[in-house]
Amino acid sequence: MDVNIKEEIFIREKQLFGYYFVWTLAIGLIIYLGKSYEMDLQQEYKITYERPTALLLFTTLFPVGIGILLRLPKFILEVMARTRWTFDWVRGLAVGVPALVVVAWSTLPLTPFGEGMRMPGLILVSQPTLTTVAGVVLGYLMLDSLKKDY
């Protein structure tokens, strides 16, 4: 293999490492700030017993944003390749719909559309874990199901 090709590969890998490392730090900072905000909402709720909707909506929807951020670096690289796109319906339906149902059932009763609607017992009992995992999976899958059409 030519020395110039090896140098180009090394430089490209170094750039990718830096790109992913900066994204990792940024996502870590966003998670830290999000958890801090969540704790502030919990403290406010414990003191005033007001705005439980804000706390529950944030704890349900924040993981979706984290899932999107986890897939965003690779998605940006794929977009820069400038090819045709398609949607992976099998993955979207098999994994995305159940994740969407869990997230929707966690948030819908808190909105005017879901008045009188009850959350299933499984979501209420394991709400933080199940909703967090479903939210991260849903956010990640939203970008991962978009695929290049080769």
Give the tens place of pLDDT for each residue, 20-46.
Answer: 899 899 999 999 999 999 999 888 888
Q: Which conformational region is residue 109 in: left (phi greater than 0), alpha (psi within -120 to 50 degrees), or beta? A: alpha
Per-residue pLDDT at 127: 62
Q: Which conformational region is residue 115 in: left (phi greater than 0), alpha (psi within -120 to 50 degrees), or beta? A: beta
11 against 97, higher pLDDT = 97
Per-residue pLDDT at 28: 93
Asked whether the predicted pLDDT for residue 125 surpasses 60, the reply is no
Per-residue pLDDT at 97: 92
Mean pLDDT of 43-61: 80
CA gap 147, 119 in Å, rounded: 34
CA gap 18, 70 in Å, rounded: 16
SS3 content of the chain, % helix, strand, coil (to 5): 80, 5, 15
- For residue 43, the tally of other CB atoms under 10 A from its CB is 11
Query: Do 66 and 120 touch, CB atoms closer than 8 A?
Result: no
Per-residue pLDDT at 25: 94
If pLDDT is split at 50, 70 and 90, which confidence band does 54 have? confident
Joined together, the tokens standing for residue 6 give: 């090896």
21 against 146, higher pLDDT = 21
Joined together, the tokens standing for residue 12 give: 């490209």
